[in-house]
Amino acid sequence: MADLKTRIAKRCAKEFKDGYVANLGIGLPTMVSSFLPEGVHITIQSENGFTGLEGSVERGDENVEIINAGGGYVKASPRVNYFDSATSFGIIRGGHVDATVLGAMQVDEQGNLANWIIPGKMYAGMGGAMDLVVGAKEVIITMLHQQFNKKTGVSKPKILKECNLPVTALGVVDLIITEMCVIKVTDEGLLLTELHHDFTVEDVVAATEAHLTVSPDLKPYDISE
């Protein structure tokens, strides 16, 4: 599974342009900054009040005063800026974040996103996701294509006709990147634009509840350096 998440992070990193201001969510999205293409430099913004994150740190090198919004230890660049939460969310809500990368429990055909709670289970809460998905110029979802249930051994689609979990926001998702493929959310629905060589179009369709349109310009899933 770690290899699959690395694959997703590598592909997502190719979406960033030099000079981007980006916000990376908890978990898989934080891996993206480790795979930026050569010559691409981005400024990472964190909801808890800084720009200038350089990524995670090695065990033993942690600074307990520098953590990201998920509580993980991180390294700050020489150009780091610290500020209060009001300023941080002003940056987000003001449209100054070029892209946010988030995980998801569900995404549907309309680009609706559910990524904050499963009823009956304990979760930390919404966090900054609700603000990020409406404030960022681009919303990229990185996730495994299906949800595997360890008890039953059955995998269920996470890309649905309609979300059935509490929704974070409506119509906000621009791009979905999984280990199988890349899907663009359009006004006409979900467009399959890239396919990993380990899978066929039929594999992706079978793993997806939502209707997919295959792009006439379908490309190989690109994680080349």
Q: Residue 73 sits in a domain of what CATH number? A: 3.40.1080.10
Asked whether residue 225 is assigned to any structural domain, the reply reads no
Provide the pLDDT confidence category of residue 74 given band limits of 50, 70 and 90: confident
Asked whether residue 174 is assigned to any structural domain, the reply reads yes
CB 156 within 8 A of CB 146: yes
CB 147 within 8 A of CB 158: yes
Domain count, the chain: 1
CA–CA separation, 212 vs 109, rounded Å? 9
Q: Which tokens go with 194?
A: 């890239």
| 100 CB-contact burial (10 Å; exposed 0-12 / middle 13-18 / buried 19+) | buried
Average pLDDT across the chain, whole number: 92
pTM value?
Answer: 0.93
Asked whether residue 25 is assigned to any structural domain, the reply reads yes
Quick: pLDDT tens for 134-164: 999 999 999 999 999 888 999 999 999 999 9
Buried b (16+ CB within 10 A) or exposed e, 124-134: eeebbbebbbb
pLDDT of residue 225: 63
pLDDT of residue 125: 67
SS3 of residue 121 by DSSP: coil
Q: 55 pairs with which residues across the strands?
A: 75
pLDDT of residue 108: 98
Asked whether residue 71 is assigned to any structural domain, the reply reads yes
pLDDT of residue 144: 98
pLDDT of residue 65: 85
Q: Which amino acid is at 15?
A: E
Q: 76 pairs with which residues across the strands?
A: 53
SS3 of residue 90 by DSSP: helix
Active site (catalytic) residues: 47
pLDDT of residue 122: 60
Q: Of 18-32, 123-137, 158-172, 181-195, where does mean pLDDT reach its minimum?
A: 123-137
CA–CA separation, 118 vs 29, rounded Å? 20
Range of the domain at 61: 2-220
